[in-house]
Amino acid sequence: MFRQASRLLARTTTPWRRSRAFSSDVPATPAQDSSFIESWSKVIPNLDPPKTPSSFMTPRPATPSAIPSKLTVNFVLPYASELSAKEVDMVIVPATTGQMGVLPGHVPTIAELKPGILSVHEGNDVTKYFLSSGFALIHANSVADIIAVEAVPVDRLDPALVQKGLADFTQKLGSATTDLEKAEAQIGVDVHSAMNSAIT
pLDDT at 191 over 70: yes
Q: Cα(109)–Cα(74) distance, rounded to whole angstroms?
A: 15
pLDDT at 16 over 50: no
2 assigned to some structural domain: no
pLDDT at 46 over 60: yes
> Does 167 lie in the same domain as 142?
no
Identify each DSSP E strand in 3-115 by its residue range: 71-76, 81-88, 90-95, 98-102, 109-113
The answer to whether the predicted template modeling score (pTM) of the entire model surpasses 0.95 is no
> Does 70 lie in the same domain as 56?
no
pLDDT at 100 over 90: yes
CB contact at 8 A, 88 and 71: yes
> Does 96 lie in the same domain as 45?
no
More confident residue, 122 or 9: 122
pLDDT at 4 over 60: no
Q: Cα(60)–Cα(193) distance, rounded to whole angstroms?
A: 39
- Pick the last residue of a domain from 44, 60, 76: 60
Q: Cα(194)–Cα(200) distance, rounded to whole angstroms?
A: 10
Q: Which long-range contacts (CB under 8 A, 24 or more apart) does 49-58 make?
A: 54/30, 55/30, 57/30
21 assigned to some structural domain: no
> Does 142 lie in the same domain as 176?
no
Measured in Å, how far apart are the chain's first and last C-alpha atoms?
Answer: 60
> Does 117 lie in the same domain as 45?
no
Q: Cα(41)–Cα(64) distance, rounded to whole angstroms?
A: 38
What are the distances in angstroms from CA 50 to CA 4, 38, 148?
48, 12, 33
pLDDT of residue 103: 92
> Does 122 lie in the same domain as 41?
no
19 assigned to some structural domain: no
Number of structural domains in the chain: 3
Q: What percent of the chain has pLDDT over 90?
A: 36
pLDDT of residue 78: 87
Average pLDDT over residues 43-51: 84
Q: Where are the alpha helices (DSSP H) in 59-177?
A: 159-175
132 assigned to some structural domain: yes
* Residue-range definition of the domain harbouring residue 40: 31-60
181 assigned to some structural domain: yes
The CATH number of the domain holding residue 104 is 2.60.15.10
More confident residue, 56 or 183: 183
> Does 184 lie in the same domain as 125?
no
4 assigned to some structural domain: no
Of 12-16, 44-48, 90-94, 167-171, which range is least confident? 12-16
Q: Cα(154)–Cα(105) distance, rounded to whole angstroms?
A: 28
What are the distances in angstroms from CA 12 to CA 3, 5, 21, 22, 76?
15, 11, 15, 17, 41
> Does 163 lie in the same domain as 147?
no
> Does 167 lie in the same domain as 91?
no
187 assigned to some structural domain: yes
CB contact at 8 A, 88 and 168: no
Average pLDDT, the chain: 81
54 assigned to some structural domain: yes
